[in-house]
Amino acid sequence: MKGRVFIALIVIVIIPVASYLIVDHYSQGAVEMPRRYFYDTVLVKREKGRDVYDTVWHKIKPFKLKNQFGNEVGLDDWGEKIIVADFFFTSCPSICPTLTRNMKRLQTAFKKTDTIVRFVSFSIDPERDSVAKLKAYGDKFQVDHDSWWMLTGPKKEIYDIALNEFKASVASNGNIDTGFIHTEKIFLLDKEHVVRAWYNGLDSVHLDQVIKDVVLLNMERDKKKKRNLFRK
């Protein structure tokens, strides 16, 4: 009888856990994660007689801008969320309507899992894009305001965020007017607000890639946290 109980224990507990560990171990290199692009510095420390290098990746610096409800907000207010962001203006007659519709498609794609991702649109014409205009623009495209902020504020600050934090000029191969940042790019930030990718926001193929990359980033391990297989 005891032998049968022991065998049952192996089947129910040990084999599934062992299988998980094996698959987890060998699958780490099988999936190509969105890469990190920009670093601030490289730290060097001495361990066991040799130099060990640790890259400090560039994170979007904290900021406070007004959203479509007039609230002062920043990315940190959302905690550890994946961020999908773009730059637009409400009176744009060309790429912005399509860009916003595609951002809306992405938001809809994550409707059932909206706890993992948030959306942010920065106005590049903040002097004219008031809080009321941003709210009306969002309503026009039927966005879910709870998980999508449209931001306005000092133009200098927003342009600094676009050029020096998101590196919008690099994403556009330098083909961008720094005096009026009009770009079709959609940017992806991980939970630590590190830029992990950018995409052509007008291209449906690229939209599919955004969805795939968000899923991958959500699965990415936090190296600072120890995993517990039995944690609820």
pLDDT of residue 8: 40
d(CA 140, CA 181): 23
* CA 117-114-94 angle, 5° bins: 65
Q: Supply the DSSP symbol for 176.
A: S
pLDDT of residue 176: 83
Strand spans (E) along 21-109 = 39-47, 50-57, 65-66, 72-73, 82-88
- CATH number of the domain located at residue range(s) 60-219 in this protein: 3.40.30.10
User: Which burial class, exposed, middle or buried, applies to 211 when counting CB atoms under 10 A from its CB (0-12, 13-18, 19+)?
Assistant: middle
User: Which burial class, exposed, middle or buried, applies to 82 when counting CB atoms under 10 A from its CB (0-12, 13-18, 19+)?
Assistant: buried
Mean pLDDT throughout 153-169?
A: 95
Question: What pLDDT, in 10s, does the model give residues 60-110?
Answer: 999 999 999 999 999 999 999 999 999 999 999 999 999 999 999 999 999
Nearest CA-CA partner of 103 in 194, 207, 216: 207
Q: Report residue 141's pLDDT band, with 50, 70 and 90 as the boundaries.
A: very high
Taking the CB of residue 65, how many other CB atoms lie within 10 A of it? 21
Domain borders along the chain are: 1-30, 60-219
Task: Tell the residue number behind the tokens 């809080």, with chain if given.
Answer: 131
